[in-house]
């Protein structure tokens, strides 16, 4: 009954409590002095109730309710027009309950924002550390080769061309990292413009196979279509970006595949969508690493990954491209069994 009272209700109850107290006093007075009339008692009661009500309401509004309004204005993020502000903030009957609810919501939102900011700060710190680490390796290599050549190695025919070639490869790696960072920046900022058109996904995969045929032959890895993938499917997407996705997945399966192994691509009809899977029987990915494979610069086997080249941003770019198409990508893998990356595409 007395929970979450408004200032007006508090003033009314206080007034009646004071009136009852005076009424009891008058009765006691009447017992001692029987000359008091009943109407005098009634008038005194009404006057005292009104006076107590007015005084309590004034002080509640001036000192307590006013501070509650300040709290409400502080936590309320919307800029209200004067008429709406008058209704929402100066409504005595509901403001306390509204403020109580708003404070609870505000506290939850603040806590959520704090947690999000902490996550973003950790992400930013890790990202900067990863970028500096990835750039540092090729830069130090270039510096070492150039210093060696400047110190006289340029005149040594046994090392000068070899060191220049290694320097060139490290420069190419730097360019790859910068280009991939630029691509991710476009994807995350929403500035990527997709050229959505109809095309044959199987023909695109054939083009990717042809581009990596020599790399696969060097590692004795067979590029194949899965059984049942004879049918071609027309899809709607940005062809060049989907090429980048397939190219990255096929190239990774070649890099981390076992010699005499395979890379297989399959297509699965899902009514309005097509599921494209790129599978291999390579080294696989341990379970604890699966949730991180699409993170920027994340490497399961850091030493082997760097030896294989790349910027460490490929799978992150793949995920961003697929999500820019409002589609999904996932991975299944087990060590020494192989990995399967699958992503969906909209049918044309």
Give the residue-averaged pLDDT of 172-200. 80
pLDDT reported for residue 70: 64
Looking at mean pLDDT, say which of 185-189, 202-206, 332-336 comes out highest: 202-206
DSSP 299-326: -SSHHHHHHT---S-HHHHHHHHHHHTT
Same domain, 343 and 254: yes
Query: pLDDT class for 13, splitting at 50, 70, 90?
Result: low
Torsion from C-alpha of 21, 23, 28, 29, nearest 10 degrees: 120
94, pLDDT greater than 60: no
Whole-number pLDDT of residue 67: 64
Among 48, 70, 93, which residue terminates a domain?
Answer: 93
> Binning pLDDT at 50, 70 and 90, where does residue 110 land?
confident
Q: Do 183 and 207 belong to one domain? A: no
> Is the pLDDT assigned to residue 228 strictly greater than 80?
no
Task: Average the pLDDT over 202-221 and give the result.
Answer: 91
239 & 329 share domain? yes
Q: What is the mean pLDDT of residues 232-256?
A: 91
Residue 110 in domain: no
pLDDT score, position 238: 92
- Clarify whether residues 183 and 204 are in a common domain: no
Q: What is each CA distance from 303 to 163, 298, 299, 315, in whole angstroms?
A: 21, 12, 9, 18
CATH assignment at residue 329: 3.30.565.10
Burial 91-115 (b: 16+ CB within 10 A, else e): eeeebbebbeebeeebeeeeeeeee
Compute the mean pLDDT over every residue in the chain, rounded to the nearest whole number: 76
Instruction: State the burial class of residue 84 (Cβ atoms within 10 Å of its Cβ: 0-12, 13-18, 19+).
Output: exposed
Q: Does residue 298 belong to any structural domain of this protein?
A: yes
248 or 64: which carries more pLDDT confidence?
248
pLDDT digits (tens, 9 = 90+) for 47-59: 666 766 676 666 6
CA distance 218 to 297: 26
Question: In this structure, what are the phi and psi dihedrals at residue 320, rounded to the nearest 5 degrees?
Answer: -65, -40
User: Is 229:332 a contact under the CB 8 Å cutoff?
Assistant: no
pLDDT(185) > 50: yes
pLDDT above 70: residue 195: yes
Q: Which of 75, 93, 111 is the last residue of a domain?
A: 93
The enclosing domain of 131 has a CATH number of 1.10.287.130
Report the alpha-carbon distance of residue 126 to residue 132 in Å, rounded: 10
pLDDT of residue 155: 85
Whether 338 and 201 map to the same domain: the answer is yes
- Asked whether residue 112 is domain-assigned, the answer is no
Q: Based on the domain organization, do 141 and 266 belong to the same domain?
A: no
Chain position carrying tokens 């403020």: 99
222 and 326 both lie in a single domain: yes
Task: Give domain status of residue 279, yes or no.
Answer: yes
Question: For the residues 14-43, what does the mean pLDDT come to?
Answer: 63
Decide if 113 is inside a domain. Answer: no
pLDDT of residue 68: 66
The structural domain count of the chain equals 3
Q: Residue 336 above 70 pLDDT?
A: yes
Percentage of the chain lying above the pLDDT 90 cut: 18
Q: Is residue 340 part of a domain?
A: yes
Percent of the chain's residues with pLDDT above 70: 62
Which of 68, 93, 118 is the endpoint of a domain?
93
Q: Does residue 343 share a domain with residue 202? A: yes
Q: Is residue 88 over pLDDT 90?
A: no
Q: Supply the range of the domain harboring residue 50.
A: 7-93
Q: Are residues 342 and 213 in the same domain?
A: yes
Q: Within a domain: residue 296?
A: yes
Pair 240, 293 in one domain:
yes
Residues 254 and 172 in one domain: no
Q: Which residue has the higher pLDDT, 220 or 310?
A: 220
Task: Answer whether residue 152 is part of any domain.
Answer: yes
Same domain, 240 and 342: yes
Q: What is the pLDDT of residues 129-154, one digit of tens each?
A: 667 767 787 888 888 888 888 888 88
CA–CA dist 169, 306 (Å, integer): 13
The reported pLDDT for the residue numbered 310 is: 56
Q: Report whether 335 contacts 289 (CB < 8 A).
A: no
- The pLDDT tens digits for 261-308 are 899 999 998 889 999 999 998 888 888 888 888 877 666 655 444 455
What pLDDT is stored for residue 260 in this prediction?
85
Lowest average pLDDT, out of 179-188, 242-251, 284-293, goes to 179-188
């Amino acid at each position: 009954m007395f929970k979450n009272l408004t200032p007006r209700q508090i003033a009314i109850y206080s007034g009646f409590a004071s009136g009852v107290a005076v009424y009891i006093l008058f009765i006691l007075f009447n017992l001692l002095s029987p000359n008091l009339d009943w109407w005098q008692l009634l008038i005194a009661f009404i006057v005292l109730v009104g006076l107590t009500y007015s005084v309590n309401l004034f002080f509640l509004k001036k000192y307590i309710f006013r501070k509650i309004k300040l709290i409400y204005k502080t936590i309320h993020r919307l800029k209200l027009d004067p008429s709406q502000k008058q209704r929402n903030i100066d409504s005595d009957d509901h403001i306390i309950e509204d403020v109580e609810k708003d404070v609870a919501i505000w506290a939850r939102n603040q806590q959520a924002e704090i947690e999000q900011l902490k996550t973003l700060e950790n992400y930013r710190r890790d990202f900067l550390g990863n970028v500096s680490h990835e750039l540092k390796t090729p830069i130090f290599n270039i510096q070492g080769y150039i210093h060696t050549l400047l110190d006289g190695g340029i005149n040594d025919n046994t090392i000068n061309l070899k060191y220049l070639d290694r320097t060139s490869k490290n420069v190419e790696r730097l360019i790859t990292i910068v280009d991939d960072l630029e691509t991710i920046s476009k994807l995350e900022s929403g500035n990527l413009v997709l050229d959505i058109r109809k095309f044959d996904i199987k023909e695109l995969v054939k083009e990717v196979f042809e581009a990596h045929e020599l790399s696969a032959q060097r590692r004795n890895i067979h590029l194949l279509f899965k059984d049942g993938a004879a049918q071609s499917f027309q899809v709607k997407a940005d062809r060049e970006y989907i090429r980048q996705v397939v190219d990255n997945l096929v190239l990774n399966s070649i890099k981390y595949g076992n010699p005499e192994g395979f890379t297989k691509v399959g297509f699965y009809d899902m009514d309005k969508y097509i599921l494209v899977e790129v599978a291999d029987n390579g080294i696989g990915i341990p379970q604890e690493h699966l949730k991180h494979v699409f993170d920027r610069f994340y490497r399961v086997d850091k030493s082997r990954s760097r030896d294989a080249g790349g910027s460490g941003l490929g799978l992150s770019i793949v995920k961003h491209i697929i999500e820019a198409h409002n589609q999904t990508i996932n991975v299944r893998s087990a060590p020494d069994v192989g990995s399967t990356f699958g992503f969906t595409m909209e049918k044309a």
